[in-house]
Chain A
Amino acid sequence: MPDTAIQDGAYNYAYLDEQTKRMIRRAILKAVAVPGYQVPFGGREMPLPYGWGTGGIQVTAAIIGRDDTLKVIDQGADDTTNAVSIRRFFARVADVATTTRTGDATVIQTRHRVPETPLKEGQILVFQVPIPEPLRMLEPRETETRTLHALSEYGVMQVSLYESIARHGRIAKTYNYPVLVNGRYIMSPSPIPKFDNPKLDRSPALQLYGAGREKRIYAVPPYTPVKSLDFDDHPFEIETWSESCALCGSKESFLDEMIVDDTGKRLFLCSDTDWCQERQGEREGAPPEVPAK
């Protein structure tokens, strides 16, 4: 019996109809076969606005099954509106277990972050992508950017980094930092901080990127080299902080800066809430929760 409606009766399993899921899976397969190449797909209207993760949600809908455990994060947090809504959406239409723990999830849909906890084989990271074309701000014509990709003419990308050094004394780009995938295609890693770029390189997890408005899917298969662009004398560097997380004391995670009162008192917190909570648990000496299986 095919997966048909569950709780609501009117919807197919995982919201999209089976033909649409097939079409998206085909695009995903092609994207995995050509790492970093943007595959067009027939994006559907989803019950949330463009910019809120319509691309990511379609990719997740196409790959998710009843055995999966889903985690959704937005800027590293599990408890923000966007993350909560998408998690509830899939719990309802796809009947999947959800979690906030990175280690327990099989599918992680994310916006703007890669989890701090190292990913494992068998996990899939689904990125929500606003602008899939890394050359868009440098070359407005789609026909031309496709040609540049096809012929690997990436001088213009390097020009933008040169310009950044000339103007700011260093490469000032801090998020959506362009990467070269498998030595071939330049790819936008979506607006993750450049702090997360090294985590993409040779990651054991499969990375899928979905752009809903521009209807593009691209992918980085497990263990694929992902190199952040730089100059020999201005190598790629990630952000560092002199402070540590106010809650868990982490010095190695990506920190958000918060202003906590009107005298300008500032606090630094882990942006990855799951990572922060696990470390707080360890600090208090409590045994970590046994993963539910």
Chain B
Amino acid sequence: MTGRPLLSVRELTKRFGNRVACCDVGFDLWPGEVLGIVGESGSGKTTLLNCLAGRMTPDAGSVIYDSNASGLVDVHRLSEARRRLLTRTEWGFVNQDAREGLRMGVSAGANIGERLMAIGERHYGEIRQTATDWLGRVEIELDRLDDRPTDFSGGMRQRLQIARNLVSNPWLVFMDEPTGGLDVSVQARILDLLRGLVENLHLSAVLVTHDLGVARLLTHRLMVMQGGRVVEDGLTDQVLDDPQHAYTQMLVASILPA
């Protein structure tokens, strides 16, 4: 690989009182790469993701992002204004619960158009056209453009949330269990969709999941967390097919046979 990493994390630590949520985490994320973070509940996956995405301030360590607009920036040393601008232009964040990431009170079109309007787009017709395009790309019927997400199924909400994040052509997307809580066939469709979008748009992504199947399908590289520490990392196939750490071996062995 050439160039420099898109996201560079060093010695990231976050504590809640005496409890250590994640400890001494470091990695590089390269452009176009999808990194998976797996581990059981309470292993610090989501805390780590929130620290990476600037939603939580770590107690120690740094997150350096190679911004398209302003070069290398330390996410946690940016002013709040610039960090928020970064998160709604160059980044995306897909929540597990689509209700947290969507405005449930306004139509699908307005949800997709919000980022455009936030960065100054003021032409209703063009915003609507872009929203329609994106609705198509995430496989939602175009006549649902003016319906509210409250009238959508869980899978459709999740796809709408993805469209809402990708409309600003971000470079980096954080995903927190994007398929959690959905039934298997819907999961498969969303995974298919995500895989296509990541490839076509050359997105980089950090994906948190406890589902090793999702990790195998979507990610290039995997970090296994236990008790706030990274216990193993490597190429996804390598980690899943030949786990070295006892905890990873247990995780892999605990997948129910299909």
Contacts and interface: CB of A to CB of B under 8 A. Distances in A.
A230 B123 CA distance: 9
Contacts of A230: 122
A232 B115 contact: no
Contacts of B146: 166-167
Interface stretch (A19-27, A74-82, A98-106, A149-157): A149-157
A156 B123 CA distance: 15
A160 interface: yes
B84 A153 contact: yes
B107 interface: yes
Contacts of A6: none
Contact of B114 (A147, A151, A155, A233): A155
Interface in A212-245: 230-234
B115 A159 contact: no
A98 B204 CA distance: 69
Contacts of B114: 155-156, 159
A159 B123 contact: no
A152 to B, nearest CB: 8
A86 to B, nearest CB: 37
Query: Main SS of chain B's interface residues?
Result: helix
B20 interface: no
B117 A155 contact: yes
B123 A231 contact: yes
B107 A155 contact: no
A161 to B, nearest CB: 8
B124 A160 contact: no
A167 B124 contact: no
Contacts of B110: 159, 162-163, 166
B184 interface: no
Contact of B107 (A166, A232, A234): A166
B166 to A, nearest CB: 16
Given A151-B80, A159-B103, A159-B117, A166 B109 contact: yes
Contacts of B124: 162, 165, 231-234
Interface in B27-85: 80-81, 84
Contacts of B117: 155, 158-159, 162
Contacts of B109: 162, 166
B17 interface: no
Nearest to A154: B118
B118 A160 contact: no
Interface residues of A, number: 19
Contacts of A234: 124
A153 B107 CA distance: 20
A231 B107 contact: no
Nearest to B115: A155
Nearest to A157: B117
Interface in A152-206: 153-156, 158-160, 162-163, 165-167
B113 interface: yes
A110 B88 CA distance: 41
Nearest to A152: B81
Contacts of A159: 103, 106, 110, 113-114, 117
A237 to B, nearest CB: 14
Interface string A134-153: 00000000000001000101
Interface in A66-114: none
B111 to A, nearest CB: 8
B127 interface: yes
Contacts of B125: 233
A233 B103 CA distance: 24
A154 B121 CA distance: 12
Contacts of A231: 122-124
Contacts of A151: 80-81, 84
A13 B103 CA distance: 50
Contacts of A162: 106, 109-110, 113, 117, 124, 127
A233 B123 contact: yes
A155 B19 CA distance: 38
Given A153-B84, A158-B117, A162-B127, A167 B122 contact: no
Contacts of A232: 122-124
Nearest to A171: B124
Closest 8 A-B residue pairs measured CB to CB?
A: A155-B118, A158-B117, A231-B124, A232-B123, A163-B106, A151-B81, A155-B117, A163-B110
Interface of A: 147, 151, 153-156, 158-160, 162-163, 165-167, 230-234
Given A155-B117, A165-B124, 8 more contacts: A151-B84, A155-B88, A159-B106, A159-B110, A159-B114, A231-B122, A232-B122, A233-B123
21 contacts: A151-B84, A153-B118, A154-B118, A155-B88, A155-B115, A155-B119, A156-B118, A159-B117, A160-B106, A162-B106, A162-B110, A162-B117, A162-B124, A166-B107, A166-B109, A167-B107, A231-B124, A232-B123, A232-B124, A233-B124, A234-B124
